[in-house]
Structure 1
């Protein structure tokens, strides 16, 4: 009977002897000097050989302290877009391009569900629109407008709720219909600790074209990242078409990220980086060794001054 227990015991001892522990992590980093000038090449000297190494520069968007942050608070949430307008005239086609915002839209992208008077606020007058241009390359900035300052136009913003934006095109047959292009749409926030973060841009906002009636032309958004309404000649049927964004969360932000410098198959003894803006930066290197049995991690920080 005693022999029955010998085999399991031997197997346990064999497994324990062959278990591969995570390699001990011995890692350090230093800069050649504590201060540099803008445009200088900063050289970081690395010792030890972690299997993985990630670098956080300390610049906005690459700060280790914010690697897990997904929500930020701000009282300065701005929108800026840029437009290029060609053809047509304001006399014949007045108010051909309007800008709207809504926190009441139900997210159903159909004519029946876009109730302009009940759900949308016309915020056009807060912005500058392009005049008639002679080429495709001249875009006019709308200006940077704080969304929290638009209560006089009827937009009382609730930061806890998502918001939709829309560009409304309206032109009638019988006259040349203007062409409107938008190549920029940025929503940014200045956080309570002074960081400028991007909430959405023209690509991440998402745009859906919604035609009213028998409108023959649609808004398009392509690989050139330009939101376009082509307009048409005097025989083109009347158009009322909305370009409506996705629901945008004004407090949601992308976590800061670092740059992966190496994996276990490479060795790195130094790393260089150039700062193009003066300031004091907390630079972070995260070294780690990982296998199926666990992980060891070391975080090394140093302060670097970049002078003008």
Structure 2
């Protein structure tokens, strides 16, 4: 009887050991078909093994594996460039009809009472505005301006605080009020290692029209064409002071670099092609994994890719 009691646990251990489930060990490798490629030529990556999933980071700007978890970046160069189109009216009759203002003390109240001009600094002199154009398609670049260099205009940037921008429109009844359109508003940060990262653009800046002169008959609009518009008006239109104020923009927050999911367990992939548009040396990264209810097995393969002009 005692002998059976010793044998039974051994049988149970043997039984469970035979039925143990594990993640299938990865068998995966990747290499480019050639040592170098030309700009615009599809790079052919040859894949061996058949992992359940593959995630690909090309190594181009915004798609670097080493920055997949980065949400903040420090920089001494934070640039703004916008583009304007102006039509109708004249400077003599409607002087300084458009100005660009900046604030880091605006309380975020997008109402007539919530806008205190004392919170804002006119930074227009650092930029170029459009002259009167004969067509809607003629936009003039403001130039690329480093926001950290505006101290001579009375604006000292604090990179740790959100920044607000406002396009201030002023028009006086009695003569034609100019029409202003803005189709570009790009803020970028250049990191200490030379990466140029987007902070905001015309669609993400979040402009809101605020009638600082409450009786203003016209508002700023932003439509599906992604153009910020102030239509102005004829001489009979009432006087206007209307601001298009952005959301509070963080100058240190950036989007993590992203990869592309190439496959899942239901497909097989023996190669993958990617095209690079700029010459240089890239570190392409493939993250392969097998995943099931028992766990995950993962491997990371980095491949150097040379792109020549």
TM-score normalized by structure 1? 0.93
Aligned to 1:152: 152
Question: How far apart in 2 are the matches of 1:13 and 1:138?
Answer: 80
Instruction: Give, in angstroms, the shift of residue 20 of structure 1.
Output: 4.8
Alignment of 1:8-157 (within 5 A): 20-116=21-117, 118-157=118-157
Aligned to 2:8: none
Question: How far apart in 2 are the matches of 1:14 and 1:68?
Answer: 44
Instruction: Give, in angstroms, the shift of residue 291 of structure 1.
Output: 2.4
Aligned to 2:204: 204
Aligned to 1:5: none
Question: How far apart in 2 are the matches of 1:51 and 1:16?
Answer: 25
Query: Which segments of structure 1 move beyond 3 Å, counting only runs of 4 or more?
Result: 11-21
SS at match of 1:152: helix
SS at match of 2:128: coil
Aligned to 2:178: 178
Instruction: Give, in angstroms, the shift of residue 16 of structure 1.
Output: 8.2
Aligned to 1:193: 193
* Residues 20 and 218 of structure 1, relative CA distance in 2, 3 Å threshold: farther
* Residues 214 and 50 of structure 1, relative CA distance in 2, 3 Å threshold: same
Task: Establish whether residue 162 from structure 1 lines up as the match of residue 153 from structure 2.
Answer: no
Instruction: Give, in angstroms, the shift of residue 19 of structure 1.
Output: 6.7
Instruction: Give, in angstroms, the shift of residue 18 of structure 1.
Output: 6.5
* Residues 15 and 104 of structure 1, relative CA distance in 2, 3 Å threshold: farther
Which deviates the most, 145-154 or 288-297? Answer: 288-297
Q: Any unmatched runs of 5+ in structure 2?
A: 1-11
Instruction: Give, in angstroms, the shift of residue 54 of structure 1.
Output: 1.0
Which deviates the most, 21-30 or 171-180? Answer: 21-30
Q: Any unmatched runs of 5+ in structure 1?
A: 1-10
Instruction: Give, in angstroms, the shift of residue 298 of structure 1.
Output: 0.9
Instruction: Give, in angstroms, the shift of residue 40 of structure 1.
Output: 2.1
Instruction: Give, in angstroms, the shift of residue 190 of structure 1.
Output: 0.9
TM-score normalized by structure 2? 0.92
Instruction: Give, in angstroms, the shift of residue 70 of structure 1.
Output: 0.5
Question: How far apart in 2 are the matches of 1:242 and 1:51?
Answer: 53
| 1:68-117 residue CA offsets vs partner (Å, 9 max, x unmatched) | 0010111110000000001111111111000000000001111112111x
Instruction: Give, in angstroms, the shift of residue 134 of structure 1.
Output: 0.6
Question: How far apart in 2 are the matches of 1:96 and 1:19?
Answer: 76
Instruction: Give, in angstroms, the shift of residue 42 of structure 1.
Output: 1.1
| 1:13-64 residue CA offsets vs partner (Å, 9 max, x unmatched) | 9998767533322111011122222222211000111111111111000000
SS at match of 1:112: coil
Question: How far apart in 1 are the matches of 2:253 and 2:241?
Answer: 32
Question: How far apart in 1 are the matches of 2:14 and 2:200?
Answer: 57
Question: How far apart in 2 are the matches of 1:158 and 1:63?
Answer: 28
Aligned to 1:270: 271
Question: How far apart in 1 are the matches of 2:242 and 2:19?
Answer: 69
Alignment of 1:217-296 (within 5 A): 217-296=218-297
SS at match of 2:113: helix
